[in-house]
Amino acid sequence: MRLVNVNTLKLEEFFNANIPRYAILSHTWGKDEVTFQDLDWLKDYEKNQTTYASLEPLIFQLGQNPVEKASALRRTAGFDKIVQSARVAKHRGLQYVWVDTCCIDKTSSAELSEAINSMYRWYSAAESCFAFLSDVVHCEPSDEIDIPSESGFEQSRWFTRGWTLQELLAPVDVSFLDRDWQYVASKRRNAKQISRITGIPVDILRSPAEAGNKSVAQRMSWASGRETSRSEDMAYCLLGIFGINMPLLYGEGARAFIRLQQEIAREHSDQSLFAWGLDQEFGEGKGTIFATSPGQFAGAGEVMMAPKSSMPTFHLNNKGLEITLHLFQLHPTEWETSRRCRPFYHAMLESWVYGAKGEEYAICLPMFRVRDQEWDPRSGEEMIRFPSGPVKILVSYIPRGVVPVTVVVLKEPPPPLRPSSGSCFFSIEAADHRAPDAVGADMGLLLVETYPPPLQVERSTPGSLAFRCQRPYGGTYVLRFVVAAEPTRQFIVTVQTENTWWPRTSVLRPLLAAAEPRRRRPSGTVGNHAGRVSERMSPVPGETRRRGGKARQVLRRRAGIPVTGLGHREREGRVCPESVLGVRRGGLGYPRRRAPRYGRARGLGRRGGLLDSPPRVVSEGVRTLMAALGRVPF
């Protein structure tokens, strides 16, 4: 370990137990930093000024003036940073200070790798740590109250860099200095304000040793809003936070962060590592096991892990991740079974979060089985996770008697079973024409993910709920929606498409991931059972009747309870199946012809057929959400 002598400004090297007490600098790099080679040359120049003076005429002819070079080095902001660091360390009674710009020979890959893997330990062992904030103006020191906003403290670049995260966490205390090297704040004394800036809990700022007791997902979330100059450094700056040592491979790009997660999976049994993507809007993904960047852990700041003694182990193999999870299936309908739709499950992780009122939510991964054969618990069933994040489900609504099952989560999903091409448009509209403003863009309805990953969905216009769907034909697709104001309200819509001249696109069922408690039964003929999901969404083929001069679909409950009142003009309190879901055929490249009568009966008419409603009545808020998934014209 090299240290700068505060009296001579020269580098001295120490090993193991011989390392003296030292101060350490935390800062953000600028343009004129003094490197190890610069300081080493300056030391050699000062030692041999007589020799340099005798060679000055020859060196001047070669265009290299050592006097001017030495003078220019001493005038740089980087050299002033070393001088001021030495002054502060000397003022605190220390003879040595560590500055990363000049104490590491970055031309040596071996030394750079050793330094990065040791940096968290070096910051933790420092006698004093001070952070230089070059973009913060001087203000009066503050012990308990917040630092004034005019100082620029909260907006400082220091809080946005990846490397400064471990420099904030590792030391027992950190003194913050403004651009004039005057004291501004302390990590321990101003912990509440720093917590609001960084998202790190106050108890961790005041007791760094407790960071190891937080879940992997929560620690990852602290780095979600930070950035580094090189993409690989976004992984390397987190090595010490997770106690990981691994070689540095500059040039691998985002692969470095995946390698970091693989090493964490080998060292820790915390399943919150797989809780990335929580409460995030839809983004491009491939349904892989690991996240591609810390930014995907932004919504995992409150995720807690189970006690270490109760955590089941997991390990990586050539296929993917072999792990024991509690799986519960969303019961398939006969319609889905007859068309061999992919079995859909929720895999409950050994992690949870607490709501605003103290309610406990389990973190569950939506997953699919790869094979269509009968489930064989002994074979290590192969599963595919959704391309983005998990969902929160109230623990009280998870089915009882769920047993753990060992599965293999594939590294990447296999290619689609059928080739697909083309595109179509669909939008989410108000289902009830009497209240067109009840749903829509103002609700903040978000499409958070789709399966399979090749399905690309994007908003057609900002602020609207219309999406453009690429490659939608020839398979089963799943769309998951949430409401921004209530992210625990999850809807999963399964879409079955077929490559035919008359492309059939049917919304099978909306599934409520976070069910609501039982409510008082309203007037009407449909029973209130908020815990059930729709057992059947397909209409009865071939059954129509006349009502008001137009063909109306006769919709009935498959659970054996009749549904009455099929019109929009039913009295208040009745559940109108027509106002829940509707589907309209049509897409790019397909002629809009009049469909045959049997197609109209199956919900495929030119103006939009009707699908059966879920056999339950829920609260008004949930009914509004279901209406938001109402008419889905294709």
Q: Residue 368 has what pLDDT?
A: 80
What band does 175 get if pLDDT is binned at 50, 70 and 90?
A: very high
Q: Residue 495 has what pLDDT?
A: 62
Which of the two residues, 302 and 340, has the higher pLDDT score?
A: 302
What band does 314 get if pLDDT is binned at 50, 70 and 90?
A: confident
What band does 142 get if pLDDT is binned at 50, 70 and 90?
A: low
| Distance separating alpha carbons of residues 524 and 535, to the nearest angstrom | 20
Convert the pLDDT of each residue in 39-80 to its tens digit.
888 888 777 765 655 555 555 545 567 777 888 888 999 999
Which of the two residues, 602 and 33, has the higher pLDDT score?
A: 33
Q: In the predicted model, what is the mean pLDDT of residues 345-374?
A: 83
Which of the two residues, 213 and 380, has the higher pLDDT score?
A: 213
- Contact 552/544 with Cβ under 8 angstroms? yes
Q: Residue 272 has what pLDDT?
A: 92
pLDDT above 90 (res 251)? yes
Q: Which residues contact 576 (CB under 8 A, 6 or more apart)?
A: 565, 566, 567, 568, 570
Burial 353-363 (b: 16+ CB within 10 A, else e): beeeeeeebbb
pLDDT above 70 (res 322)? yes
CA neighbours within 13 Å on the CB side: how many for 597? 7
CA neighbours within 13 Å on the CB side: how many for 579? 21
Tell me the longest C-alpha to C-alpha distance in the chain: 110
Most confident region among 154-158, 307-311, 412-416, 548-552 by mean pLDDT:
154-158
DSSP state of 412: S
- Contact 404/324 with Cβ under 8 angstroms? yes
Which of the two residues, 218 and 627, has the higher pLDDT score?
A: 218
- Contact 120/166 with Cβ under 8 angstroms? yes
Percent share of the chain, pLDDT over 70: 58
Helix residue ranges per DSSP H, 92-215? 100-103, 109-125, 163-169, 191-198, 202-206
> Which whole-number Å values give the CA distances from 298 to 213, 278, 530, in the listed order?
19, 8, 31
Which of the two residues, 11 and 487, has the higher pLDDT score?
A: 11
| Distance separating alpha carbons of residues 230 and 621, to the nearest angstrom | 46
Q: Residue 318 has what pLDDT?
A: 86
Convert the pLDDT of each residue in 273-303 to its tens digit.
999 988 766 555 567 889 999 999 998 999 9
- Pull the structure tokens for residue 391: 């969902």
Which helix (H) or strand (E) is 42 found in, with range?
helix 36-47
Report the predicted TM-score, pTM, of the whole model to 2 decimal places: 0.67
Convert the pLDDT of each residue in 96-132 to its tens digit.
999 999 999 999 999 999 999 999 999 999 999 999 9
Q: Which residues contact 72 (CB under 8 A, 6 or more apart)?
A: none
What mean pLDDT, rounded, does the chain reach?
Answer: 70
| 194-198, 338-342, 490-494: the lowest-pLDDT one | 338-342
| 49-63, 238-252, 345-359: the lowest-pLDDT one | 49-63
What band does 592 get if pLDDT is binned at 50, 70 and 90?
A: very low
**Closest to 279 (Cα-Cα) out of 214, 353, 204, 213:** 353
β-pair type (609-610, 456-459): unpaired
- Contact 73/38 with Cβ under 8 angstroms? yes
Q: Residue 416 has what pLDDT?
A: 54
| Distance separating alpha carbons of residues 194 and 188, to the nearest angstrom | 9
| 294-303, 522-531, 538-547: the lowest-pLDDT one | 522-531
Q: In the predicted model, what is the mean pLDDT of residues 452-466?
A: 50
| Distance separating alpha carbons of residues 63 and 51, to the nearest angstrom | 17
- Contact 131/167 with Cβ under 8 angstroms? yes
Q: Residue 578 has what pLDDT?
A: 30
pLDDT above 60 (res 444)? yes
How many other CB atoms are found less than 10 A from the CB of residue 439? 23
What band does 618 get if pLDDT is binned at 50, 70 and 90?
A: very low
| 143-157, 381-395, 403-417, 606-620: the lowest-pLDDT one | 606-620
pLDDT above 60 (res 571)? no
Which of the two residues, 463 and 261, has the higher pLDDT score?
A: 261
**Closest to 246 (Cα-Cα) out of 114, 74, 436:** 114
